[in-house]
Amino acid sequence: MQTPENRLKTALLAGQVQYGLWLSSGSPVLAEMAGHAGFDWCLIDAEHGPNAVTGLTPQLQALAVSGTPAMVRVPAAEVWMIKQVLDQGCQNVLVPLVDDAATAALMARAMRYPPNGIRGMGASSARASGYGAMPAYIREADAQMCLFVQAESRAALDNIDAIAATDGVDGVFVGPADLSADMGYPGQPDHAEVVRAIAHIIARTRDAGKIAGIITFDDTRIADCLATGATFIGVGSDVTVLGKALRGLTSRLTGVAAA
């Protein structure tokens, strides 16, 4: 049994735009449904969603059935969190609130085995290696890991060149909501100053030869994201899509009753 290729990383490094969905519900059923919907990737959100480590595996298994690449956003920039996610078999990790190159470098080391990093040697009995069925896993895993760090503060904006240049960081992902709030414009990700900041982060990321990512729940903004140079684009979440559909259904029922 061979260590699987990280198809998402391969596609992104080839310059292919990859669209994905946030999974915020903690539901393996919705993860499986999203996996079969045709997205290029799905992200399990353990920062804001109800996703503890024990809840990751069923969702990762559900996505594996569909063949859709999975990413996990860990709750914080902590080495032990990275270790647990990787041992669960996830090859793609997003780390929130990375404000400087030192933090980015530590996260990059957490993604890799010694001598290139500090990842603990426990995968031989974990899902990552097929529970020991991949004998070459510890030699081959590093090349398949993909790390995105989130730039979502004024500090990250100031330090973007150093963050993007960090070895082992594959991409920088802009968090428009937190960035706008930290810049003094909470709830205004479309404010002119925030838009300029986002464009700057993406441009500097691309100039460093790294992948730029962003999320928008507004379909009309996808073209703008592409125009700035982002190729890793989140387009919604399971919770928002389902909530909108349910509210639309009740709204139609109200109209039927009124008629």
* 101-137: b (≥16 Cβ within 10 Å) or e: bebbbbbbbbbbbeeebbbeeebbebbbbbeeebeeb
Residues 6+ apart with CB under 8 A from 1: 130, 133, 134
- Given the residues 36, 48, 191, 200, select the one marked as catalytic: 48
Question: What is residue 127's predicted lDDT score, i.e. its pLDDT?
Answer: 96
Which DSSP state fits 156? H
200 is catalytic: no
Considering the domain boundaries, does residue 134 fall inside one?
yes
Q: Which element (helix H / strand E) includes 103?
A: helix 101-110
**Count of domains for the chain:** 1
Conformation bin of residue 13: beta by default, left when phi > 0, alpha when psi is -120 to 50: alpha
Q: What pLDDT tens digit does each residue of the chain (259 aa) get?
A: 889 999 999 999 999 999 999 999 999 999 999 999 999 999 999 999 999 989 999 999 999 999 999 999 999 999 999 999 999 999 999 999 999 999 999 999 999 999 999 999 999 899 999 999 999 999 999 999 999 999 999 999 999 999 999 999 999 999 999 999 999 999 999 999 999 999 999 999 999 999 999 999 998 999 999 999 999 999 999 999 999 999 999 998 987 766 5
State the CATH number of the domain containing residue 121.
3.20.20.60
pLDDT at 254: 81
Q: In which domain, by residue range, is 235 found?
A: 7-258
Q: Which residue has the tokens 């009124």?
A: 258
Please list, in sequence order, all residues whose beta carbon lies within 8 angstroms of the beta carbon of residue 130, skipping any fewer than 6 positions away.
1, 137
Listed residue (28, 165, 148) closest to 91, CA to CA: 148
Note the pTM of the prediction, 2 decimals: 0.95
Asked if the structure places residue 2 within a domain, the reply is no
| Nearest residue to 164 via CA among 152, 172, 173, 156 | 172
Residue 195 in domain? yes
3 state SS of 60: helix
DSSP state of 134: -
Specify if 1 maps to a domain: no
Q: Do residues 206 and 183 lie in contact, with contact meaning Cβ atoms separated by under 8 Å?
A: no
- Residue 76: count other Cβ atoms within 10 Å of its Cβ: 10
In a domain, 42, yes or no: yes
